[in-house]
Structure 1
């Protein structure tokens, strides 16, 4: 689809992104999602098998009650706009992941750690469906290959076997493939909707089941 840039959906501008980023950093604790992680979370939800309502994902993003009503309304409005923009951007092939940066000896470098952590948590919103399908259909695992490679490389997910770290070129290549990955995963779930059996299994899954081991690495810097 070749849509003129003037007709791209309304996404958060730089000022709005900075405003939301500042709020999340000021109110976030260790392990909480920052802006890159929130974008990854909402991206996974957008391309996933079943709708996830805001009252389900907001607790992954906001952890304290708002002390200022106006500020609270503003933050919620920014999150809603960010959420809506993802599907709209995917529809016109204008999606770009929001990534963090890490300081290295060579200078600042893009990091997918936060985005991958958020994407993993987004999958957890419908974990039973994802895990069942990933176990039964190798096509979905193949489609998610670049995301999995980045997540393992960043330590967000643990590999079952010994994993060789990505080279800088391979890392950048995986980053560049993220928009395409999300597009094909969206198409996959559209063409392979969850069965009644899969949905029933999700409903009966124990709520205290431990999630797969993972941890977040990397940090957000300007």
Structure 2
């Protein structure tokens, strides 16, 4: 749960409100609050920001029946988006994680967050795929995120990996804030050139959209 309330961050009440709306409106495969947080995080720390009219279709899939509710949800999503960079700047970032029911009690899961992060990368796939193929530094920086994503089945791997132990899983979660800051610094210091931007947009695959992503089943509720 949130331990510190920063002015730009959503309160727990606001998070619950947004979580409830997303769960009520969600169909199979749609992102929930943890996934939306991962999606927006990938765009914040990545090579090029995305305007709301680009990422909102990844989150909202039907018109609002109530215009007043629509204005409220859009305001909460905007505040969630704005909070990510602000929290990273003051070392207060916490990923929003899903809570799964387990025979030994509720457990936190990064599956939804990782799914959203991967979809955020998809929105800028032309940049990411080129750099990941050319610069091993970026692969190394993303190591903990990739480990969580492979462990949760969000990313496929040609090699076989043993499931992370509870300690390893927790260690990856603990490293997420520093990893995200390092990735943001990477793209700031190695910003794409104009030629790279042009090429990235030309090779951005049309099929890299959320409707082609396999659905993920998640129970419980999202936390911050």
Shorter-chain TM band: over 0.9
TM-score norm. by structure 1 comes to: 0.92
After superposition, the C-alpha distances for 1:181-214 in whole angstroms (9 at most, x for unaligned) are: 1111011100000122321222222643467x96
Q: Could you tell me which of 159, 162, 181 is aligned with 1:161?
A: 159
Q: Structure 1's 210 and 41: CA in aligned 2 closer, same or farther, altered over 3 A? A: closer
* Alignment match, 2:22: 24
- Alignment equivalent of 1:102, drawn from 59, 83, 100: 100
Distance in 1 between the 2:107 and 2:151 partners? 15
Paired residue total = 217
User: Residue 172 of structure 1 aligns with which residue?
Assistant: 170
Aligned counterparts, 1:57-68, within 5 A = 57-68=55-66
Higher relative contact order (CA 8 A, sep 6+): 2
**1:54 shift after superposition:** 0.4
Whole-angstrom distance in 2 between the partners of 1:17 and 1:182: 22
TM-score, length-scaled by structure 2: 0.92
Task: Structure 1: state its 5+ residue gaps.
Answer: none
2:75 corresponds to which residue? 77
1:26-65 mapped onto 2 (5 Å cutoff)? 26-65=24-63
Q: Residue 210 and residue 24 in structure 1: after superposition, are their counterparts in 2 closer, same or farther (change >3 A)? A: closer
Q: Distance in 2 between matches of 1:210 and 1:11?
A: 30
Alpha-carbon distance between aligned partners in 2 of 1:47 and 1:14, rounded to the nearest angstrom = 24
5+ long unaligned stretches in structure 2: none
1:34 and 1:114 in contact (8 A); partners too: yes
Aligned residue in 2 for 1:219: 218
